[in-house]
Structure 1
Amino acid sequence: MIHIVFGAATAGSLKQALREMKQDQVNEIIAFNDIYSIGPLLHLHEHEGQEKRIEWLRHVMSNEYGYFDDVVIDQHRMLQQIKEIKDGTRILIWTGFNAHEQIGLRYAIYLLKEKNIELSFINTTIAFDQLFNTNTRRMDIRHAGEITSEKLKVLYESKEHIHSVTKEKREKLQNEWLSFTKENHTLRIWQKGKTISVPEDEFDAYLVKMAKRLHQSEQEEKYIVTPRLIGEVIGHLEQYIGDDFIEYRIKSLIDQGIFDMKGRRTSMRYYSIKLTEFGQRFKKWVCCREFEDHPFVKIEGDYGGEPFHCGHCQCHLERDDVPINDTLFSKIWNWNIQYGRWFDEETDDLVPNGADMEKKFNQEGERITEEVKRAFSPAFQVEYSPSEYTQHFI
């Protein structure tokens, strides 16, 4: 069995899992050590396209400790390993619901198009959700590299999540790959169940927003060490685009006068940044371009924080993203802190009359949402997303 994974982290964790299952001698791993949500894909299955992508990555990635060199070497090794696959080989591709692994899946299947092989895949997003997430404990993974070796072992042993790829499915995915390779975009995201291409500066405003948050927690004139801002963005961004791309955009914002910096840009460890006066006023869009053109707020109960989400991309919105007065915000806050009180974490079950409590919570949420609609109309579309927690217990 050959396992195809997308990323060195996934390869390392899977290797450990196979070793613990004593299957490392009969299983081989081919790692596509790249991030396919970023960078050009134009004719990537051809030598010229591969060279152009490497040149783009050279401009974006750090080569501290030889990291970029390792990626280039890994690319050549991966292509050679694919060529050496023999007919009749069983191959399992590990993918998930994110732009990086969905692109990787199509790339891998295209490279295997001349091979007479037994091909299957496992969707780690679905498998992880069904095997590990519960009504009270949930972890949303952005890509398989976030899954521990212990959990990868469980995923692999749960054979019901491994699905064969039919001839028709292979052809469909190959054609979809060719469609991606006709585009010259350098950033892709997972949105509404599919991979879409977006402008390279899609998350610039989000970077500025996170920098403002850090400035508010520190002295305003203080510089922020670059890795801290990158970590803040990675920790909150629902897309997987890698820290190198985030730093690449930070450098672009420095060049645009959004950030001031001190230090040397040779590595993120060697320079710090702070928003300039111009950068403090910078705000292209809140979370996605659709929100800018058509502000759409969903009100949804949640544990802690403001219960606002973008109705387009589902990103969490903060109070300064929604023009709401103090009185109305206080009502929403007092309503939201009641969320989840129908559940007893110690018994892992509903409290007595829990279903009625949730029903009343939703009724109050609908009433408050109508009040918000009147306040925001006609500039904003506002909808209420009801809690359906107790349905899992009834």
Structure 2
Amino acid sequence: MTAAQLEMPLARRALVGSVIDASTALLAEQQHDIVRFAMGAPSEDLMPLEGLDEAFARARHGRYDYGESEGDPRLREEILRLSNAAGVPTAPDRLLVTTGGMQGLDLAFKLCVDPGDLVIVEAPTYTNGNATALSYGAEVLGAPTDEHGLVVEELPGLVERAGRTPKAIYTIPNFQNPTGVTMSLERKRALVELAERWGCVIIEDDPYGMLRFGGSEIASLAEIAPGHPLVFQVRTFSKIIAPGLRVGWIDVDPAVRELAINAKQAMDTCTGVPAQNAVANFLEDGLLEPHLERLKPIYRERKEAMRRELASAFGDRVRVTDPDGGFFLWTTFTGDLAGIDTEDLFAGALAEGVAYIPGPAFTVDGSMRDALRLCFATSSPERIAEGVGRLKRAIDASLGMRSGGGAA
């Protein structure tokens, strides 16, 4: 047998890619103008570039050395301060700096889930959350959501039908990805009670909690159950400062944190030290709070603009969530548009010059084909109007209608 005929023996582990992350490369290949409703990220004009440039430029001894696996001490101190200011007091022995929120999710599933374990997720939920659970051999069970988040009261019935209790429940309780909805206080309390009854971990993914621009504050799981041994909190600076920093953190029981340090040392030794130093400088300079206050009214304006344009374009043939924070609108087609398959529509929409993430990407069973996720945070109201117009043209074309025509 020649070398050309050999194949590398691979593990049987499921490695599920991300439709969302793959869209970055796909969009980079396009030669025409694209209104980008796909990636969940702040637009560059809303990133604090001047403050970040200054934070990176500030000289500091050892900033290009290896760092502590636990994270830069100054950064961990600033995270403590940030948590206390948010009414979620924590402790140094609970914190571990991670390479973005995704490493936090990877650590959570790696430490808590064995092959064959049952993991409950929201349906729909963040693509990479599903993918990470599946990569560790989990059996993923979707649970319904509504305008008040995960429908916690249905979990006992789901568990009874499954015939076993979950090892973990993965949730994005605040301004959920992809729907934008927030779990009610009553449901958050009930979720903690169920976790205690079943002895399962709650993996609380909270990238957007600091981006509330409307409505009333709802206590987080960390506030409801401070220091709870069954709550594995995952946080990131990607959505509130800049995604390219790849700096996040986890807040967990001290014993679990020690295991997470061991696991991280086998991954990357430490999160990039220059980025950690820059974030620490940015926080020490008191730049985060005014930055967030600048963002909130802009995001509110963009959300309202997108809802307005969708209503104008599609009327009652579309249902759209109405979040009080975060980045996303979950859009479901109804009436004579209910038969639209958003995966099939994607190529035509991209040709028209608008990108989104199809609904099936956020499920484990390929359902929700009549829905899609739109990110309002990335585009100005003018670009939002243009993008929704392009989406309508793509839908009209897919239905065999003339551009700008009415319902068939």
TM-score with structure 1 setting the length: 0.26
Structure number with greater Rg is 1
TM-score with structure 2 setting the length: 0.26
Instruction: Compare relative contact order (CA 8 Å, sep 6+) and give the higher one, 1 or 2.
Output: 2
